[in-house]
Amino acid sequence: MSPYPSRLGRRRHRFARRPRRVAMLSVHTSPLHQPGTGDAGGMNVYIVELARQLAAHGIEVEVFTRATSGDLPPTVELAPGVLVRHVEAGPYEGLAKEELPAQLCAFTHGVMQAWAGNRPGHYDLVHSHYWLSGHVGWLAAERWGVPLVHAMHTMAKVKNAALAEGDTPEPAARVIGETQIVRAADRLVANTAEEAGQLVHHYDADPARTAVVHPGVDLARFRAADGRAAARARLGLPKDAFIPLFAGRIQPLKAPDVLLRAVRHLLDDDPGLRERLVVPVVGGPSGSGLAKPEELQKLAARLGIADIVCFRPPVGQDVLADWYRAASVLVMPSHSESFGLVAIEAQACGTPVVAAAVGGLPVAVRDGVSGFLVHGHDPAEYARALRRLVDDADLAARMGEAAARHAGGFGWDASAATTAELYAEVCAEAATERRRRQLRSVHAHR
C-alpha cells in the first residue's frame, strides 16, 4: 500500500464546501498554445482539460499566463467557466524559459492588478503549475489569505539524475526554487505514487501534504473511432505498413533518437522490412533541442533511413488522435516523464505502447498487457520489443484492445472530481486554522 495519501482514501473533509473560484497559474506556457511546440506539451493539455472539468463541477477557473504577443486580448474564454488572463511580463517574444525567473516580479504585479479589480475573496484557492508559477502562487496565496495547491509536473533533481547525452542540466536556482515551494504549499499534487516519493526523497516534502491524482485523457476525442484503416487513409499512409510512431516535443529528454536507432536495428536484422516500414515523427523542437533543430533529420540520414522517416509538425488534438489510430505502436523512450499523457492518449485509441520504464510510464502502460516497458535506453532492446509486434499480428491486436480498456480508467472527469475534493479539504483546513488564530487572538487580548 502506498504511504502517500490517495484522493480516494482521505474523507475527513469530504462534505466541506468546494471553492467557488480558483486562480490557476501557468507562467511559462499558455493553455491556448499548441501542444508539441516550444514549451507546450502535456502540461498544457493537463491544465485545459482539468480546468474544463472543474468548471463542469461548478468551480470557476481563471488561468493566468504570460502574454507572448501584443495582439492577444487581455482575457479569453476557453470554455464556459474557464477564463484565460494574459499578463504582460517582459518582452512578448524571444524569451527562453530559463530567462523567465527575472520576469516573475512583473508577472506577480499583473496577477495582483487583476485581483485588485475584484471584490475581496474573489479567489478561494491558488493552484500553480510548474516551479515558476509556484513562486507567483506562493506570494498570491499569502497576500489573499487562501491555500496554495501546487503541481510540479517535472522536478529539477529528477531530470538531472536522468539526463540524456548532450542535454543541459537544470540550474541550481530551480532546485532552490522548487525546495521553497515544497515548503510553502498547503498541498502538493503528484501524478503517481512514484512522483510523490520523489518529492519526499529529493525535497523532503511532508507525505501528509502530498496527494496523488492521476491525470486523465479525453475519452470522447481519443478513441478507436472508425479504426486504423480509415485513419491511415485520411493521413495518406499505406494501409499494410508497420508504423512505429513518435509524438511529442523533439528534445534529448524525450529521446526520439532511440526510436530511429531501433529502426536501424530492425532493418539490419530484416532488410526486407524496409518495404513496409513507415516511421512518423510528429512534433517540433523544444528545450535544449532548439539548439540543433535539424539534428534528428541528420541522424536519420546518417542511419540510412531518411526515406522511411517522415517528419511532421505538431498537429491539433483531433488530427493527433488520427496519428495514434493509424500507428501500429507508439514509441516513448523518454529519459524522464512525470506521467506520460501521450501514452494514455495512444492507448485510448487502441494502439499499444513501447515505453521506457521511467517516471509515471509504468502506471500509464501495463507491461506485457497494453504494451512493453523497456528498462534503459538501448535501441536494441526497443528493436526487440518492436519485433515482437511485427512478427505477431495477433499479439499486437490483443495489446491494442487491452490498451483501450486500460486507458478507459483515466477519464478527466474522475481526475477533476478528486481534485475538487482535494480543494475542499485544503479549504476546510485553512478555515479551521483561521478560526484557531482568531481564538488565540481573543484569548491573548483578555
Annotated binding site: 28, 34-35, 39-44, 97, 130, 154, 174, 249, 254, 315, 324-325, 327, 337, 345, 351
Q: What are phi and psi of 245, to 5 degrees?
A: -105, 135
The residues near 432 (Cβ < 8 Å, ≥ 6 apart) are: none
Annotated binding site for UDP-N-acetyl-alpha-D-glucosamine: 34-35, 42, 249, 254, 315, 337, 345
Q: Which residues of 264-282 are buried (b: 16+ CB within 10 A; e: fewer)?
A: bbbbeeeeeeeeebbbbbb
Query: How many C-beta atoms surround the C-beta of residue 182 within 10 A?
Result: 23
Annotated binding site for Mg(2+): 324-325, 327, 351
Q: Chain centroid to CA 150: how far?
A: 14
Pairing mode, strands 75-79 and 82-87: antiparallel
Give dist(CA 63, CA 438) in Å, integer.
Answer: 32
| The residue count for the chain | 446
Strand ranges inside 155-209, DSSP E? 187-190
Query: With DSSP H G I counted as helix, E B as strand and the rest as coil, what are the percentages for the chain, rounded to 5?
Result: 50, 15, 35
Dihedral (CA of 300, 302, 303, 307) sign: positive
Amino acid identity of residue 413, one-letter, is D
At 274, list the grid cell.
Answer: 524496409
Contact 355, 336 (CB under 8 A): no
Annotated binding site for 1D-myo-inositol 3-phosphate: 28, 39-44, 97, 130, 154, 174
Distances (CA, A) of 33 to 77, 138, 331: 14, 25, 24
Contact 188, 199 (CB under 8 A): yes
Amino acid identity of residue 256, one-letter, is P
The residues near 275 (Cβ < 8 Å, ≥ 6 apart) are: none
**DSSP H helical ranges for 211-270:** 228-235, 256-269
Q: Which residues of 387-426 are buried (b: 16+ CB within 10 A; e: fewer)?
A: bebbeeeeebeebbebbbebbeebbbebbbbbbbbbbbbb
Pairing mode, strands 279-282 and 244-247: parallel
Give dist(CA 73, CA 91) in Å, integer.
Answer: 16
